[in-house]
Copies of this chain bind each other. A is one copy, B any other.
Amino acid sequence: MTTRQLTEQIQQKKSFLCIGLDVDLTKIPSHLLATEDPIFEFNKAIIDATHDLCVSYKPNTAFYEAYGIKGWQSLEKTIQYINDKYPEIFTIADAKRGDIGNTSTRYAKAFFEDLNFDSVTVAPYMGKDSVEPFLAFENKHTIMLALTSNEGAFDFQTLEANGQEVYKTVLETSKNWKNSQNLMYVVGATKAEYFSEIRKIVPESFLLVPGVGAQGGSLAEVCKYGMNPNVGLLINSSRGIIYASNGTDFAQKAREEALKLQVEMEEILNV
């Protein structure tokens, strides 16, 4: 999917919501546990109930790896289901990968080709030759961690080097990498005031924004400072939507929570 198609989807659906599919067997409705693949059944129900309210789904690979081979099978079935039934959805493998050169190419192939995700998240610590292998894939997107929404973001990301914080150097430097047009960035919502500075460095890039809701970030604030003429934002919500209920009504309740965010987004887009 191209970023232009993503923007068109946002305008059509009046939503820039991304739903995080972080499935924990201890949190899903107990009636699903008797099915052959509870993780997939859960995802399928959530996806069918919310696909018109969001433009993106983001499974975090940790939740699938934690269940070994069975978990990977659930991940495969989930991405295949989305690609088959809702091809207009922008899919994100939240994997935070990164390794040396050829090894990164392996990860890129795993997520872009074998699983056919539209995008994957990566970590920047190993620099250019750990990220460029991902950028080489056409119409695929690499979402690099810049400023994350957790406490530990202040350990290294905000260290001041050469007169600016490390995460700003990460943003600036990455613009010079080959095929940098395929980059997007993770920027946590818990620090909305940082968005205006970030937009000076990457005015056109899409930003994937975790931390709205559960982690305390404000949607209105993020949009005020972070939105660009093509919207340029994907706001992620995971727990607040998918675990809205753990009864048999879980999919309906998830829809209600997603709808609240979509309505708020529509109002912002209409201003």
Residues of A within 8 A of B (CB): 22, 60, 62-63, 65-66, 68-69, 72-73, 76, 94, 96-101, 103-104, 106-107, 109-110, 114-115, 123-131, 145, 148-157, 159-162, 166, 169-170, 173
Q: A103-B22, A124-B125, A150-B126 are in contact. Are A160 and B161 (CB under 8 A)?
A: yes
Residues of B within 8 A of A68 (CB): 72, 76, 110, 114-115
Decide yes or no: A127 and B154 within 8 Å by CB, A62-B110, A107-B66 being known contacts: yes
Chain B residues, CB < 8 A from A103 = 22, 60, 62-63
Q: List 30 A-B contacts (CB under 8 A).
A: A62-B104, A62-B107, A63-B106, A65-B107, A66-B107, A66-B114, A72-B72, A96-B98, A96-B123, A100-B148, A100-B150, A123-B125, A123-B126, A125-B157, A126-B148, A126-B152, A126-B153, A127-B151, A127-B152, A128-B152, A129-B151, A130-B150, A130-B152, A131-B152, A155-B173, A156-B169, A159-B161, A159-B169, A160-B161, A161-B166
Question: Which of chain B's residues has its CB closest to A144's CB?
Answer: B125
> How many identical subunits does the complex contain?
2
Determine whether the beta carbon of A127 is less than 8 Å from that of B153: yes
Which residues of B have CB within 8 Å of A148? Answer: 100, 125-126
Least Cβ–Cβ distance between A220 and chain B, in angstroms: 23
Q: With A159-B159, A159-B166 given, name 11 new contacts (CB 8 A).
A: A62-B107, A62-B110, A66-B109, A68-B114, A69-B73, A96-B99, A96-B123, A125-B148, A127-B156, A155-B173, A156-B166
- Which chain B residues border A62 with CB–CB below 8 Å? 97, 99, 103-104, 106-107, 110
